[in-house]
Structure 1
Amino acid sequence: MKLLTTISLLLITISVTAQKRQNIYFLKYNGELVKERDSADFIRIIREPDSGMVNYELQEQYKNGKFKRLGYVSAFEPKLILEGYCRDYYPNGNKKEVGFYQKNFKDGEFKVYYPNGVLNEKAIYKMPVKLHMEDSHCKIIYLADSLGNSFLDSAGTGHFNITYRDGFALQGDYLNGLKNGIWKSSHTKDSFTLEEEYKLGQLVQRVRKENDGKSLELFFDVDTIPDFVGGFKSFSDFLSRNLVYPADARDTGKQGRVIMNFIVEKDGTLTEFKIIQSVFPSIDKEALRVLMVSPKWKPGIKGGKPVRVSFTIPIVFKLG
C-alpha cells in the first residue's frame, strides 16, 4: 500500500515539473504591445509545441477572462502565422468564427456567428492564386441575418440586402455562392456610394459615385496587369537602392514582409497607398516612403486602354 502511494506522488511531481514554456504578451486591439496587464485590451499566450508537434499553441483572453482566440501558429514574431483549426470568440463568450488556416490564409470551411450565437455565414475558402486579386477564393454556402433568416437558397443563390446599426448598408446578388453583378455599399456618414462589379466572385471594377454626380472607376480584372518599367529585376534594383533599414528595427531585430496595396493610375502614377500587412511601425513607414518616390509604372490595360488598377506587393525586410 505504501509503495502505491509513493508512485502516485512521483507522477504528480513529474506532471508539475513538465509544464510547457510560454511567452506572454499584453496587447491593444491595434496590435500595440504594452508593458502592463492593466493597460492591455487582451492577453496573448504562446506555448511551446507538444511532443511530436511543430506548431505553437495560441491562447488569447479578454480582460474579463473569457477566451478571445484559441488555435495554433507556426510563428509568432514579428507576427502570428495561423496554422490549423482556430476559434475566435466575442467578449460575451459566444463563438465568433471557426475554421482552418494554412500559412495565415483561410482554407476550407469557415463559420461566422453573430454575437447572439446565431449562424451568420458559412463559406468555403481556397488559397489565393493571385496576390493582387481580392477575395476571389471565397464561396458562400450560407448567409443569414441575426434572426436566422437566410438570404440564399440551397445552391447559394439569392439577394443580400442589409443595413447595420452603425449606418453601413450593403446589397448585391450571389450566384452559386459567388458575388455576381453590381454590389452597392454606403454609409450615412459618407458623401458617396461605392459600386463594385463582380463576375462569378471576381471583382472586375469599382466605381465611387459622389453625391454630386462625379464617378471614379477602379479596375481589378484586366488584360495586362501593371508593371514596373523594366520588370521585376528593375523593381528589385529600385528597392535595393532606396530602402534604408530603420535603425530601431535593426537594433531590436525586427524583420518581415510588409504587404502594400496601391492604385496604379492610367498614367502609371502610384496613389492611395495602404498597408495590408504590418511588420513594425518604422519598417511600415519606410516601405510606404519608398513606394511614394517610385517612378511611374506601366499602367494596366483593359480593352486596349489604360485603366486604374488596384495592385498589391510584398516588400521584404530581412537582417543579414
Structure 2
Amino acid sequence: MKALLLLLGLLCWSWKGMSQSMPAIYLNEQGEEVVPDSATHYRIIDRKTETGYTIREHALNGTLLLKGFFTSIDPVWRSGLFTWYHPNGTKASQVHFEDDEPEGVYVAWYENGKVRERGQFEGGQRTGRWVTVHRNGQKRSEGRYLYGRPVGEWRYYYDTGQLSAIELLSRAKGPALAFFNPDGSPYVGKLQRRQMPEFPGGEQALLDFISRTTQYPRDTRRKGISGKVYVSYTVGEDGRIGQVRVVRGLAPEADNEARRVVESLPQFQPGREYNVPTAVTYTVPISFAPNFSLFGNGKASRTPPSEARVDFPGQHY
C-alpha cells in the first residue's frame, strides 16, 4: 500500500512539473532574446506536450499580447492558431500558421471588436482580395495581392465613403496615382502616398516640449534611480494623442511622469495615407538622470520618437 501511494505521489509530482511553464524569455521589439533591462515584452512557454508548446507573450506590465503554439522552440516553429491582443484584452488579429508560415484567412479588429482588415494568406504570402475598414464601418481600401505583392487597381476611401485615391499598379509605364478631395473633385498638389503626423513647430519643437515638461520625480531622484521610460502613444486620425502606455518602465513615479508628459502633448497635424487621415503609433524614450538644472529638474531624452511597426504582426516572430 505504501509503495502504491509513493508511486501515485511521484506520478502527481511528475504531472505537476510537466504542467508548469519554462522561465520567461525576454524579447526586444524585433522579437530577439535580450536581457530583462533591454526587453519590451516577454514570452512564456509551457512545458512540452505530445504535439508541441503552448506559448504566450506579455507586455512587461503583464498585459497579454499574443497566444500561439510552437511545434519546436529551437528553432522556433509556429503552427496552429495565433491570436494577438489589444491592451484592453480584445482580439487585435488572428491567423493560422502551417510550417511556420501564415496560411488561410487573416482578420484584424479594432479595440471595440469591429473588423479593421481582412484578407487571405497562401504559403506565407498575401493573396487575393484584401479590404481594410474605417472605425465607422465604411470601407477604407480594397485591392488584390499576387504572391505577396499588390497588383492591379487599388482604391482608397474617406470615412464618408467618398473615393480618396486610385492607384493603378503593374503597368508597363509604372504606377499611376490620382487623389480626390472629400467633395469628389480632383486633388491638385503633390501626391504623397504617405505623410507622417507633424507636431506644431516640427520635431525639434516636440523634443523641446518633452524636455521642458518632464520633471524628475522626487522619490525617484532620492532613491538614486536613473534611466529611460519607453512610452507608446498613437496620433489619431484627428491628430489627438491616445492609447498612451508605458511599454518599458523604470520606477512607478517615473513611469507615471513619463505617461503624464506624453498625455499632455498638444494636437498634431494628423498623418495621411493615400490622402486619408490615418492613425500612427510611436514609441518615445524619456530619460530620468541626475543632471539637474538650477531648478532641480531632470532633462528629458533628446532622442526622437520611433514609429511603431503596424504591418502584419506575425512578421516579427
Higher strand share: 1
| Superposed pair shares fold, TM > 0.5 | no
User: TM-score when scaled to structure 1?
Assistant: 0.43
Structure with higher RCO (Cα < 8 A, 6+ apart)? 2
